[in-house]
Amino acid sequence: MLIIGEKINGTRKQVGAAVVARDADFIQDLARRQAQAGATYLDINAGTGKTEPDDLVWLVQTVQSAVDLPLCVDSASPAALRAALPFCTQTPLVNSISGERARLEGVLPVVAELGCPVVALAADDSGIAKDVEGRLAVVERVLQATRAAGVADGLVYVDPLVLPLAGLATSGTVSLEAMRAVKERFPEVNLCIGLSNLSYGLPARSLINRVFLAFAVQAGLDAALVDPTDTALMQELLAAEMVLGRDPYCRRYTTAYRQGAYGFSAKPSAASSGLDAAR
Amino acid sequence: MLIIGEKINGTRKQVGAAVVARDADFIQDLARRQAQAGATYLDINAGTGKTEPDDLVWLVQTVQSAVDLPLCVDSASPAALRAALPFCTQTPLVNSISGERARLEGVLPVVAELGCPVVALAADDSGIAKDVEGRLAVVERVLQATRAAGVADGLVYVDPLVLPLAGLATSGTVSLEAMRAVKERFPEVNLCIGLSNLSYGLPARSLINRVFLAFAVQAGLDAALVDPTDTALMQELLAAEMVLGRDPYCRRYTTAYRQGAYGFSAKPSAASSGLDAAR
């Protein structure tokens, strides 16, 4: 599972200001904290200003001089991507294309030329469909385009997207079903998800996001765009993989616990409570 | 979803001592705390001593005079069940029969006679099968027996059981698949689960139990034998039902949050953080 740290995002106020001010300390601190928390990729987004190409190049260099992680370069601007991608020292993931015409015509050629893996959002110029079939129709069109451009399915990370549950009760299940359907129809394609829209407008958002993440893992998720410093979320992810039989001998889980990773604080008593006597 | 509070269990040291000493305050406190925490049933188990029939009658009466909840009467003794069930003021759930010959021959006639719903464990005299087919074979045999005894499928709560993940990496998935298969083959039958064996021998057990519970809800769970005072578990359950589209308008979730139920402590800021800007 790729854990893509989401925090270096120039559309967030503080990060945007740090990019403008070339505040390397602020950015590098965000990078280091996410790496330490367990991120295996870092998303970097320089905002959408006129100086985006220069800003994105600066971000790539600034982050890479702080941490040794591959980057998820997050931009809708072909010019910014063309400027920044050559500075990546490890193969970057490009975030993102979609069924939107401008993105597909602008970003896809860059990705195809450089041979980068790319996130593909299940949205088009009419927005995000409310049902599974609508999402899949967009995914199919995007995959036709990536294939036509010579991008192998294995380089594509489909993000089925999530709408806010507060507005659509079936939002979670639609996204989960779309994930299963994508894996079934396009077995080489990877699945990626950004979580936070799901809980928009609801309280205790981290709880909702992590429960959905566990279901997404079950549905075949390969990459998650998350806040890796949310330790409850990281613990849920680790436990979900173990419960789903993907952690032989529970080794990753018990090692993380012993090492105090993901906010675990090992207590001698926690492991020693006995077999439940209810039965 | 039936939330069956598991804490009044005489095979646990303190509870067993309270039963022997007829310490009504101790038992009633456990009953009230579980009811307040959100239990909709209370499991009561008087231990397995020679005085079990009298002990179970005392427990039924003691618990019922403290809380207004139906009981899940937990005993393998036909004599104890026959003694205690008539004292239940609301239809009790009997916990349990299984494929074990003694339980089937002893407890099933009591259940059939009184028309009570009953938990049926997917185990027999050779123990708990490690694979889905083995569990299902036992379930089928038990259901043949319940049907033959005139107990409708809708009165049966099949518990597929869980083995410790520490000894069997597929333990979670076997139980989840067994649940799905039971619902498919016997659509009238209900599903019940006791969680805690899954995490036996592992640290941070509550985390593992609640993640599995979310998957079990997805697999069609109707009743869970849990510690309702585990607020993280209750929150996970609430969030799982909402994420799975079973909480129209998010009403149960937001109401619980506003009322500070399940350990939620409403903070004005939690609901007001904006739509994630990553995309």
Task: Count CA within 13 A, CB hemisphere, residue B74.
Answer: 25
Give the strand pairing for A2-9 and A41-45: parallel
Distance (Å) from the alpha carbon of A44 to chain B's nearest alpha carbon: 10
> Which tokens belong to A263?
């906010």
Interface check A17 vs B, CB under 8 A = no
Task: Give pLDDT tens digits along chain B (279 positions).
Answer: 999 999 999 999 999 999 999 999 999 999 999 999 999 999 999 998 999 999 999 999 999 999 999 999 999 999 999 999 999 999 999 999 999 999 999 999 999 999 999 999 999 999 999 999 999 999 999 999 999 999 999 999 999 999 999 999 999 999 999 999 999 999 999 999 998 899 999 999 999 999 999 999 999 999 999 999 999 999 999 999 999 999 999 999 999 999 999 999 876 544 444 444 333
Nearest to B235 among A205, A207, A264 (CB): A207
Interface mutation target, options A199, A243, A262, A269, chain B, most CBs of B under 10 Å: A243
pLDDT in tens, A171-216: 999 999 999 999 999 999 999 999 889 999 999 999 999 999 999 9
Q: Closest CB to B211: pick one of A200, A236, A275.
A: A236
| B 114-153 → A contacts, CB under 8 A | 121
A196 CB within 8 Å of a chain B CB: yes
Who among A6, A243, A254 is closest to B215 (CB)? A243
What's the gap in Å between the CA of A217 and the closest CA on chain B? 11
On the question of pLDDT at A269 being above 90, the answer is no
Minimal Cβ distance to B276: which of A197, A204, A245: A197
| Residues in chain B closer than 8 A to A170 (CB atoms) | 245
Q: What is the pLDDT of residue A196?
A: 84
What is the rounded distance in angstroms from the CA atom of residue B38 to the CA atom of residue B262?
7
Instruction: Provide the pLDDT for residue B196.
Output: 84
Q: Flag if A243 and B200 touch (Cβ within 8 Å).
A: no
What pLDDT, in 10s, does the model give residues B143-175?
999 999 999 999 999 999 999 999 999 999 999
Q: Express the helix, strand and coil content of chain A in percent, nearest 5 each.
A: 50, 15, 35
In angstroms, what separates the C-alpha of B250 from chain A's closest C-alpha?
6
Within 10 A of A152 (CB to CB), how many other CB atoms are there? 12
Helix boundaries (H) for A165-230: 171-185, 205-218
Chain B CB contacts of A6 below 8 Å? 276, 278
Q: Cα-Cα-Cα-Cα dihedral of B64, B67, B71, B75, to 10°? A: -60
Are B262 and B109 in contact, with CB atoms under 8 Å apart?
no
Give the residue, A278 or A148, on which the prediction is more confident. A148
Nearest chain A residue (CA) to B176: A244
Q: Residue B276's pLDDT is what?
A: 40
Task: Report CB contact under 8 Å: B204, A264.
Answer: yes
Percent of chain A with pLDDT over 90: 93
In the numeric block, the tokens 């938990």 are attached to B119
Nearest CA in chain B to A170: B245
Q: Which residue has the tokens 């409570």?
A: A273
Residue B156 has a pLDDT of 98
Q: Which residues of A touch B236 (CB under 8 A)?
A: 207, 211
Here the tokens at position A145 are 């385009």
> pLDDT value at position A279?
32
Query: Could you say which DSSP state residue B12 is in?
Result: S
* Beta-bridge mates of residue B194: B225
The rounded radius of gyration (Å) of the Cα atoms in chain B is 19
* B268 CB within 8 Å of a chain A CB: no
- Looking at the complex, report in whole angstroms how far the Cα of residue B192 sits from the nearest Cα belonging to chain A: 13
- At residue B136, the 3 state secondary structure works out as helix
Rg (CA), chain A: 19
Measured between CA atoms, how close is B144 to chain A, in angstroms? 23
8 Å CB contact between A162 and A195: yes
Q: Do B203 and A43 touch (CB under 8 A)?
A: no
Q: Is B261 exposed, middle or buried (0-12, 13-18, 19+ CB in 10 A)?
A: middle
Locate B174 and state its tokens.
């076997």
Q: Provide the pLDDT for residue B266.
A: 72
Q: State the greatest distance between any 2 C-alpha atoms of chain B, in Å, as a whole number.
A: 66
Q: Do the Cβ atoms of A6 and B278 come within 8 Å? A: yes
- Judge whether A242 is closer than 8 Å to chain B, CB to CB: yes
What does the pLDDT read at residue B267? 62
- In one-letter notation, the amino acid at residue A185 is R
Taking the C-alpha atoms of residue B260 and residue B258, their distance in angstroms, rounded to an integer, is: 5
**Is B173 an 8 Å CB contact of chain A?**
yes
Sort out which chain A residues have CB atoms less than 8 A from B263's CB and list them. Answer: none
Mean pLDDT of chain A: 94
Residues of chain B neighbouring A267 (CB-CB closer than 8 A): 203
Q: How many CA atoms lie within 13 A of B95 on its CB side?
A: 28
Six token digits for residue A83: 């400027």
pLDDT for the residue A267: 62
Of A203, A248, A278, the CB nearest to B194: A278
Please indicate if any CB of chain B lies within 8 Å of the CB of A230: no
Contact A15, A23 (CB under 8 A): no
**Predicted complex ipTM:** 0.92
Give every CB contact of residue A226 below 8 A, 6+ residues apart in sequence.
Answer: A3, A4, A5, A6, A195, A209, A213, A233
Q: Is the pLDDT of residue A242 over 60?
A: yes
Hunting for tokens 């001089």 — which residue is that? A65
Q: N- to C-terminal Cα distance for chain B? A: 36
Using a CB-CB cut-off of 8 Å, the residues of chain A touching B239 are 204, 207-208, 211
- 8 Å CB contact of A276 and B242: no
Residue B179 is encoded by which pair of tokens?
């649940």
Cα–Cα distance measured from residue A50 to residue A198, given in angstroms and rounded to the nearest whole number: 31
Smallest Cβ–Cβ distance between B204 and the set A203, A240, A257 belongs to A257
Mind listing the pLDDT tens digit for each residue in B193-240? Answer: 998 899 999 999 999 999 999 999 999 999 999 999 999 999 999 999
Q: Do residues A192 and A157 lie in contact, with contact meaning Cβ atoms separated by under 8 Å?
A: yes
Asked if B259 has any chain A CB less than 8 Å from its own CB, the reply is: no
